[in-house]
Structure 1
Amino acid sequence: MKKLIFCILTLSNLLFACKQADKPATNTTTGLSAYLTDTTTGVKTGGIQMVQISTPKGKFNVWTKKIGNNPKMKLLLLNGGPGATHEYFECMESFLPKEGIEIIYYDQLGCGNSDNPKDTSMWSLPRYVEEVEQVRQALKLDKDNFYLLGHSWGGILAAEYAFKYQDHLKGLIISNMMMSCPAYGKYAVEVLARQFDPKVLARIRAIEAKGDFANPEYMGLLMPNFYVKHICRIPLDQWPEPLNRSFGKMNQSLYVTMQGPSEFGIAGKLLKWDRTQDLPKLSVPVLSIGGEYDTMDPKHMQWIATRVQNGTSLYCPKGSHMSMYDDQEVYMAGLTKFIKGVDAGNKKVKL
């Protein structure tokens, strides 16, 4: 009799456990369905929306595309370069959607799928800040859902946007960017340049002195000696396709005007940009991401989090400038934890 009762109880427990195991799957399916539901009206475009912006030189269209639908966590991505495209952010599709984080791609004016006025007078930081604000308004992003991630040059743009419009932000992510271009240039000269073979460095400097940047030897020297060590620490013939595709579409006019002819230091309009003294003005939750082998000083990027009012630092020990690729698991886990932590009401997030 006791043996029969024991068998009945064991069977009941197993059936109960099976029913409980079914519940998360049902909830996950329901959540996924809501996340993937396109709530737009009219003809569906796969999340693509062209946004008309007003500029001192007239009206232009910029390209945006959203993946997912979450009223609480919307991440707008600002690409680097300046002049690259949103495409190198495509790696995020393997990580963020499953966490319920909505991704919004955006090609800045002159980049990728957006209009290109081919007017260097329009390549200016203040104008781009106003462009981001117009995109925010068009996409109906606000302080209850709007996370802004800027990578490299996009980090400068994101920071500058926050200094003026942080009241519209829920969270700010500055990825792989220092808050001082003079300090960035100094780091390139005093730290990175000293890691070169002296003969290689001498030849690079000789080409730069002549302004012969179109010389194929210039990039031929920089790619193996600098880009593979400090931009993306993956063998060049194995660089991720989205990264190659994005870099292959670089708007050189925009890049050279703002940055200069290469990532090895800075020489364009951004040469004197420095916001280090203004960092304490930022009260919005801020995540600063940096990689050990970055073109930027990793210590400076960690320091940023100590200067803003509500800062969090993410250090990628294996990462370089494209840490979302060469230290991917650390980068994506930290980014996800920060966004979900802020969504839960934390101004600072322990990573």
Structure 2
Amino acid sequence: MLRFLVALSFGLLFASPVFASEPTLRDYHANANHPDAWQGGVRMIPIHTPAGDFRVWTRRVGNNPRIKVLLLHGGPGATHEPFEVFDSFLPADGVEYYYYDQLGSYYSDQPDDPKLLNIDRFVDEVEQVRVALGLDKDNFYLLGHSWGGMLAIEYALKHQDHLKGLIISNMVSSIPAYNKYANDVLMPELGAANLAELRKLDAAKDYANPRFEELLVPHYEHHVLRRPMAEWPEPVVRGFVRHLNKKVYVPMQGPSELGASGILVDWDRTEDLKNITVPTLVIGARYDTMDPKYMEMMSKRLPRGEYLYLPNGSHCSYYDDQDAYFAGLLKFLHTTDDAKQGG
């Protein structure tokens, strides 16, 4: 079950003021004009889909009229929960941010309908969430991690006129490129005998076999989150194991961690990156499941792209290289904000 991992982030840094004057703790936690205040920032947002109307869960943290970050979690079918580590750092920096469980994820409605499992529908869902939350080009930053990074790229290609900035965290712009990196670089690290056994189990679709997980443990601990799995953060285990919706994950990603094989298998937007003109930060890490050199290349194809390289991080670099991750993220947010104000 732990093969279904992809995760999100952690912060630090006190940067320049982001309010009209030096913000106070009272400013950041003020509840005036927020209809969600009476229930702790939570809103269940109505979503219209081809399969009917449903609701998705969001939660606002803080107030900042110029920097509002919507977080797109990994999976597909995982949850916002690994992002809970943001609570340790973003409030101290004055950043407003929104947790959000996509349709089919644990805190949102979970319709069981294959018509809902396509990336265009997810993009439309994000746009409906944006409208409901009142985010716009003067304050709206979109951060997507792993699958959420795919979704963020697709959203920007269709709706970048609503964006102030974009963050693509630990995700390449091509699933074929990811599969090639996994096949050529990551899987051989397991050793010939272990890899042969894994491929045999994969061919038999014997994913419930405990041996399948045992063989992948070194991969998880080296490339997904660089700690012994017994020490993995509780929000990560909760969001990507206990609360993962396999009815979303398996059809879209595929059942095996030996590369993607589901609905998204042919997804590739590398040639379209040149069309994303908003300020964009691409985050990659040395030990990532995604090729860090490919992510660096992406940043150069983006007209206003920049690259944050994390030398100690893996796919969950917001946990295992968190100081560098959050310093870079917050620098990007404030630099983009300052440039917009100056412009």
Task: Give the structure-2-normalised TM-score.
Answer: 0.91
Equivalent residue in structure 1 for 2:167, among 148, 151, 173? 173
Partner of 1:15: none
What CA distance in whole angstroms lies between the structure 2 residues aligned with 1:138 and 1:123? 22
The runs of 5 or more residues in structure 1 that have no matched partner are 1-23
Aligned amino acid, residue 240 of structure 1: P
Q: Deviations over 1:11-41 (max 9, x none)?
A: xxxxxxxxxxxxx9xx999522111111224
Q: Deviations over 1:147-182 (max 9, x none)?
A: 000000000000000000000000000000000000
Aligned amino acid, residue 298 of structure 1: P
Partner of 1:140: 134
Would the alpha carbon gap of residues 346 and 37 (structure 1) be closer, same or farther in structure 2, given more than 3 Å must change? closer
Would the alpha carbon gap of residues 41 and 191 (structure 1) be closer, same or farther in structure 2, given more than 3 Å must change? closer
Equivalent residue in structure 2 for 1:112, among 98, 106, 116? 106
For these two proteins, the number of residue pairs brought into alignment is 321
Partner of 1:210: 204
Based on CA coordinates, which of the two structures has the bigger radius of gyration? Answer: 1
Q: How does 1:271-350 map to 2 (within 5 A)?
A: 271-345=265-339
Would the alpha carbon gap of residues 346 and 145 (structure 1) be closer, same or farther in structure 2, given more than 3 Å must change? closer
Larger RCO (alpha carbons 8 Å, 6+ apart): 2
SS at 1:261 equivalent: coil
SS at 2:193 equivalent: helix
Would the alpha carbon gap of residues 147 and 263 (structure 1) be closer, same or farther in structure 2, given more than 3 Å must change? farther
Aligned amino acid, residue 284 of structure 1: V
Q: Deviations over 1:291-340 (max 9, x none)?
A: 11111000011111100110110011111100000111110110011011
What CA distance in whole angstroms lies between the structure 1 residues aligned with 2:37 and 2:173? 42
- Runs of 4+ aligned residues of structure 1 deviating over 3 Å after TM superposition are 27-30
Q: Structure 1 residue 237 and structure 2 residue 230: aligned? A: yes
Q: Mean Cα displacement is larger for which, 199-208 or 35-44? A: 35-44
Q: How far 1:96 sits from its partner (Å)?
A: 1.1
Q: Contact 1:75–1:148 (CA<8 Å) still a contact in 2?
A: yes
Aligned amino acid, residue 79 of structure 2: T
Q: How does 1:1-351 map to 2 (within 5 A)?
A: 31-39=24-32, 40-41=34-35, 44-222=38-216, 224-247=217-240, 248-345=242-339
Give RMSD over aligned pairs. 1.7
Q: How far 1:43 sits from its partner (Å)?
A: 6.7
The runs of 5 or more residues in structure 2 that have no matched partner are 1-16
Q: Contact 2:284–2:296 (CA<8 Å) still a contact in 1?
A: yes
Q: Contact 1:120–1:253 (CA<8 Å) still a contact in 2?
A: no
What CA distance in whole angstroms lies between the structure 1 residues aligned with 2:318 and 2:331? 15
What CA distance in whole angstroms lies between the structure 2 residues aligned with 1:263 and 1:339? 33
Q: Deviations over 1:65-109 (max 9, x none)?
A: 010011100000000011110000011111111111111000000
Aligned amino acid, residue 154 of structure 1: G
Q: Alignment identity in percent? A: 53
What CA distance in whole angstroms lies between the structure 2 residues aligned with 1:345 and 1:252? 42
Q: Mean Cα displacement is larger for which, 267-276 or 194-203? A: 194-203
Partner of 2:11: none
